[in-house]
Amino acid sequence: DWKSFIYMYTSHPDKHMHELGISHHEVTNVLCGISDGLERLWQRVKMLDVALLVTADHGHVTVEPDDMVVLPQRLLDCLEYANVGVHGKGRHAFFHCRSGRQEEFQQAWDEEPSLSSFILLPVDVAVEEGLFGPEAPLPAARARMGDLLAVSTTAKTLVSPKEASRFGRSETSPGLKQGAHGSLTPAEMRIPWCLWVPGA
């Protein structure tokens, strides 16, 4: 009783959402094209003993230029490395603190108004809370996570100074909205789950 499984991945609309935000008309056009293509596929195969499942691995949020947050210098001075970025990393940023400066970093974080939309957690606490899944990260992965994790609760996203200069608002430019994912907001966690079966 032979059975087969065919898997197909497309980088769209993810690519368009990252570059344009989630509400751009080009994103709508891409989604309509994918929908039409799936309908044509189903019409061709629905008479067979087959099922068609469509899903995604994450949702998306639009990051407006005013949602882009750069870490103040007093916080950067406490760090060996900050893993931030407008297209995802800045939604769940990891920080590697300089030796002996983690408490200083946490205090400076709490005093910074621009960071009020983020929850700052020690990575070990995030592991205990199951934010990385039911199993603890492997030692090699855990070493890359550093000391602290910042999770965004809104569209606010931690970006590098270079990204802020490229996408952010300035005196001469309104800025460029971008799309991002990686935090725990409903928009980022809600995904489609569409199943077609013969006779349904």
pLDDT tens for each residue of the chain, 200 residues long: 778 899 999 999 999 999 999 999 999 999 999 999 999 999 999 999 899 999 999 999 999 999 999 999 999 999 999 999 999 999 999 999 999 999 999 999 999 999 999 999 999 999 999 999 999 999 999 999 999 999 999 999 999 999 999 999 999 999 999 999 999 999 999 999 999 998 76
Length of the chain in terms of residues written: 200
CB 51 within 8 A of CB 38: no
Q: How many helices and strands, by DSSP H and E, does the chain display?
A: 8, 10
Instruction: Name the 3-class secondary structure at 186.
Output: helix
Sort strands 148-152 and 92-97 into parallel, antiparallel or unpaired. antiparallel
* Cβ neighbours of 199 (radius 10 Å): 4
Q: Could you tell me which residues come within 8 angstroms of residue 65 by beta carbon, excluding any fewer than 6 positions away?
A: 167, 168, 169, 174, 175, 176, 177
- Phi first, then psi: give them for residue 67, nearest 5 degrees: -90, -5
Q: What is the pLDDT of residue 152?
A: 98
CB 182 within 8 A of CB 132: no
Report the alpha-carbon angle 7-180-192, nearest 5.
Answer: 40
What does pTM read for this prediction? Answer: 0.91
Eight-class DSSP state of 52? E
Q: What is the pLDDT of residue 138?
A: 97
Q: What is the pLDDT of residue 3?
A: 84
Q: What is the pLDDT of residue 198?
A: 87
Q: What is the pLDDT of residue 35?
A: 95
Instruction: Give me the sheet containing 148-152, strands edge to edge.
Output: 79-83, 92-97, 148-152, 118-122
For residue 82, CA distances in Å to 39, 43, 101, 150, 197 come to 44, 49, 14, 11, 47
